[in-house]
Amino acid sequence: MSDIFAQTKAKFHLPKGVIYLDGNSLGPLPKAAMGVVERTIQDEWGEMLITGWNKAGWINKPSEIGDRIGKLIGAPAGSVVMGDTLSIKVYQALASALELNPDRKVVLSDKGNFPSDLYIADGLLKSLGDEYELRVVAPEEVENALTDDVAVMMITEVDYRTGRKHDMKALTEKAHANGILTIWDLAHSAGALPVDLAGCNADFAVGCTYKYLNGGPGAPAFIYVADKHKDAARPALSGWMGHEAPFAFDLDYRAAPGIERMRVGTPPIIALSVLEASMDIWDMVEMNAVRERSIELCDLFIDEVERLCPQLQLGSPREGKRRGSQVSFHFENGYAAMQALIANGVIGDFRAPDMMRFGFTPLYVDHDDVRGAAAILGTIINEKVWDDPKYQRRSKVT
Ligand SMILES: Cc1ncc(COP(=O)(O)O)c(C=O)c1O
Ligand SMILES: Nc1c(O)cccc1C(=O)C[C@H](N)C(=O)O
């Protein structure tokens, strides 16, 4: 095992006897987070009370942490800010982008997008009026659908179910050539693979921090706005924290210069402190090394599963560079098989209708984990362990 990844693995709390292959949905707890949260609560909130906004620098945390995340996604300092949920950031980016392209009324997305993004777009377009259209095509048709009536292309780079990865540079280039602005949802990219927002000339990007960035359940989202739009984009969610002078308490709204205008309300300081602990681990590694290792782990898992369980059908691209950091297999009894797998210490998840999904996160998953998980999966499938009524019962969250 490469030394640096042994060191990063030691920085996470992983329950004994568990192989965790669901960091693409919720990353594990960085051990240091407990101390950081305790300090934030006791030393800052406890001792400083409201003076913590200045004394502990709480007010600047959304931009400071945004800059740290920016380093992982090819975004220059001052172009990323934290806050709210990803669904809200999708709304904000889309509303701003549409206003920057006012003569066109079509939003293009694809069927591989996460439903929340499509729901948010649908809701926003209904508020804007009947002339707006949400056009949703098959992922492989996006390129040809970049026609000159489209205002904004809004897609998720890595498909949450299959792991299929879009070509950000090529699609952004073609979109721009046709007068279209781009919004990239990086939920399954940030911390999963190298992203070069500035190099690709992306207009807007959004993402969450509870997956590969290990910020914990409900951790705040981020938004990126390209330099060229930063002072022009009007934040549709024009809350006081995005005002140029929040503490002047003026009754009229004037957007802050730059990325700060994308802030909405009071930032979640305790949640942001967890992210600081997590970003300290990210500082230890190079994204290209993470990517190389992630492809290695995914390839090994595919080889092992195909050898042990020929009944399962690969649902992800076979070629590493066409995937994110996850692998899915189709299996008609996938839900029950996943429940049986979890009961036997391997945590992945299930996505309807039949996908068993596994995330590979080099910061804390190694080759032994991959071999171990595949062996347990082999037993579950070949001995039909899943064929037990207790594994059929559906929970609210799958
Ligand atoms: C691609 C994508 N977009 C949006 C969301 C919604 O994020 P949130 O629940 O944080 O609003 C998720 C995950 O839940 C996602 O995977
Ligand atoms: N955000 C989630 C949650 O609050 C509960 C359970 C799962 C999630 C997820 O993030 C799901 C995830 N976006 C997915 O790719 O399926």
Check for a shared fold between 3-31+286-391 and 57-282. no
Catalytic residue list contains 391: no
6 alpha carbon – ligand 2 mean position (Å): 27
CB 79, CB 129: distance < 8 Å: no
Shortest-distance atom of ligand 1 to CA 88: 11
pLDDT at 2: 53
For residue 257, whether the previous peptide bond is cis, meaning omega lies within 30 degrees of 0, is no
331 catalytic residue (yes or no): no
Q: CA–CA separation, 275 vs 281, rounded Å?
A: 10
Nearest ligand by distance to the CA of 85: 1
pLDDT of residue 364: 98
Position 226: which residue type? A
Q: Which two tokens stand for residue 11?
A: 């920085």
> What kind of architecture, by CATH, is found in domain 57-282?
3-Layer(aba) Sandwich (3.40)
Whole-angstrom distance, CA of residue 5 vs CA of residue 3: 6
| Pocket test residue of 26, 188, 327, 361 for ligand 2, highest count of atoms within 8 A of CB | 26
Question: Which pLDDT belongs to residue 367?
Answer: 98
Binding residues: 86-87, 114-117, 156, 185, 188, 210, 240, 266
Q: Is the CB of 109 under 6 A from ligand 2?
A: no
CATH of span 3-31+286-391? 3.90.1150.10
CB atoms within 10 A of CB 307: 10
Does ligand 1 have an atom closer than 6 angstroms to the CB of 187? Answer: yes
Those residues whose C-beta lies under 8 Å from the C-beta of residue 384, and which sit 6 or more positions away, are none
16 is known as an active-site residue: no
- 114 Cβ inside 6 Å of ligand 2: yes
Residue 167: per-residue pLDDT? 98
Q: 214 CA to middle of ligand 1, Å?
A: 14
Distance CA 312, CA 194 (A): 29
Binding residues for pyridoxal 5'-phosphate are: 86-87, 114-117, 156, 185, 188, 210, 240, 266
pLDDT for 398: 83
Query: Any idea how long the chain is?
Result: 398
Set 5, 12, 114, 360: catalytic member: 114
User: What pLDDT was estimated at residue 394?
Assistant: 87
- In whole angstroms, what is the distance from residue 136 CA to residue 114 CA? 12
- Residue ranges covered by each domain of the chain: 3-31+286-391, 57-282
Helices 367-382 and 287-308: angle between axes, nearest 10 degrees: 30
Q: Among residues 160, 357, 366, 369, which one is catalytic?
A: 357
Tell me which H or E stretch contains 92: helix 86-100
Q: How far apart are CA 243 and CA 260, in angstroms?
A: 8
Atom of ligand 2 at shortest range from CA of 116? 13
Per-residue model confidence as pLDDT tens for the chain (398 residues): 458 999 999 999 999 999 999 999 999 999 999 999 999 999 999 999 999 999 999 999 999 999 999 999 999 999 999 999 999 999 999 999 999 999 999 999 999 999 999 999 999 999 999 999 999 999 999 999 999 999 999 999 999 999 999 999 999 999 999 999 999 999 999 999 999 999 999 999 999 999 999 999 999 999 999 999 999 999 999 999 999 999 999 999 999 999 999 999 999 999 999 999 999 999 999 999 999 999 999 999 999 999 999 999 999 999 999 999 999 999 999 999 999 999 999 999 999 999 999 999 999 999 999 999 999 999 999 999 999 999 998 889 98
Residue 387 annotated as catalytic: no
CA–CA separation, 315 and 167 (whole Å)? 19
> 109-166, pLDDT tens digit by residue?
999 999 999 999 999 999 999 999 999 999 999 999 999 999 999 999 999 999 999 9
Cβ of 212 less than 6 Å from ligand 2:
no
Closest-approaching ligand to the CA atom of 350 = 2
Any idea which residue has 């992203």 for tokens? 195
CA of 187, closest atom in ligand 1: 1
Burial 257-289, CB ≥16 within 10 A → b, else e: ebbbbbbbeebbbebbbbbbbbbebbeebebee
Atom of ligand 1 at shortest distance to CA of 156? 1
Ligand 1 contacts CB of residue 86 (under 6 A): yes
Whether 105 sits among the annotated catalytic residues: the reply is no
